[in-house]
Amino acid sequence: MSKRVLVAMSGGIDSSLAAVLLHEQGYEVIGMTMKTWDYASSGSTGKKETGCCSLDSINDARAIAVDLGFPHYILDIRAEFGDYVIDYFTDEYMAGRTPNPCVLCNTHIKWDALLKRADKLGCQYIATGHYANIRQENGRYVISKGKDHHKDQSYVLWGVSQDNLARTLLPLGNLLKSEIRQMAMERGFVELVKKSESYEICFIPDNDYRSFLRRRLPNLEAEVGQGNFVLQDGTILGKHNGYPFYTVGQRKGLGIAHKVPLYVLEIRKETNEVVLGEREELGRDGMTVRKISLQKYPKIEGDLEVIAKVRVHDVGTPATIRQQGDTITALFHEPVEAIAPGQSAVFYQGDDVVGGGWIERSFQQYGTQRIYKETNDLPFYKPQKTQ
């Protein structure tokens, strides 16, 4: 039992090689492909199905299992995925926030679903093709960045619980993407190398979330109604189609003629206003992060220096953080642009994930003094001017 592992296989090169490598290392591998979404339900047409939920991907995963002689199963979790992830996705946009469904799916759907089936199949471990590492240190399971920092996926794993990490294997963590491709070629899996990678949200294959919201909520535009584009001083610039169709940091698709490019600074659900401003106005001094999950430490004591990432491709910014219950307040050492409530914030020490959570709000220097008082005088770092 100690060598039996259930591998999540999407049909792509990464998860397939994860299964191959574990098989070669002597593990008793069982493959499982999760059906999370029905493409017919997405409303998209005229495009070949891609990604982890397509029939082609399921067949590709099964072909690897047949070739290597280990079992493969399909796990239909469309109902629980829809109830949890899709409802969350639409609810967040309706709340004026920008959701991060992939993090939620990893944390509350895929890991739990895999472990439940692993127990039934007598597997001690589960494995995925994520580019990240897990190690045990001081009684904690610590997630750290993968060797290939260009492909690193530690950002999306901050919410996986300690109990779940204890049973998780990440066989690609110490490999580069180029090495994975070479290994696939050497083993004769040429078609895996040729496959294009999918970067879109699985239930929005055309990357058009606005059309998805309209299909999901047919009366959305009538219920929300048109609102105003405004500047921070209240100046009205024009009309928009409703706050759910905009995200913080957005520049394109605003339909506003102005002397300089404008960006979305804030979404005001209560008044159906979308606040616009110039790029230099996007910078924020800090943020509050709620519903946190800690990895490296059981609790953050006092002030801790970290690198904070506010989106998956963010290079990170030095910050000081302090924990208060289920909330972390982060003060940046220099302004950070386009911090979107609803997205994940992940805190690092070197390559190690300290923890993460959901961004509740950001603040500028004018509000900083109030924040310091609320958090017992966190140290002040004067923001540098943006270049």
Backbone φ and ψ of 146, nearest 5°: -75, 160
Amino acid identity at 352: D
**Helix orientation angle between 13-24 and 55-68, rounded to the nearest 10 degrees:** 20
Candidate list 52, 53, 105, 123, residue with the active-site label: 105
CA distance 216 to 90: 8
- Residue 20: CB atoms within 10 A of its CB come to 22
The verdict on whether 202 is a catalytic residue reads yes
The verdict on whether 105 is a catalytic residue reads yes
CB-CB contact of 126 with 7 (8 Å): yes
355 torsion bin: left (phi>0), alpha (psi -120 to 50), beta (else): left
CA distance 211 to 206: 9
CB-CB contact of 264 with 274 (8 Å): yes
CA distance 334 to 34: 42
Q: What is the 3-state secondary structure (H, E, C) of 23-73?
A: HHCCCEEEEEEEECCCHHHHCCCCCCCCCCCCHHHHHHHHHHHHHHCCCEE
Q: Residue 127 burial (CB < 10 Å; 0-12/13-18/19+)?
A: buried
Q: Which two tokens stand for residue 46?
A: 């005229």
Q: Which two tokens stand for residue 247?
A: 């995200």
Of the CA atoms within 13 Å of residue 286, those in its CB half-sphere come to 26
Candidate list 52, 53, 123, 202, residue with the active-site label: 202
List C-alpha distances in Å: 324 to 36, 256, 298, 303. Answer: 35, 41, 13, 11
**Helix orientation angle between 177-186 and 13-24, rounded to the nearest 10 degrees:** 70
* Active-site residue list: 105, 202
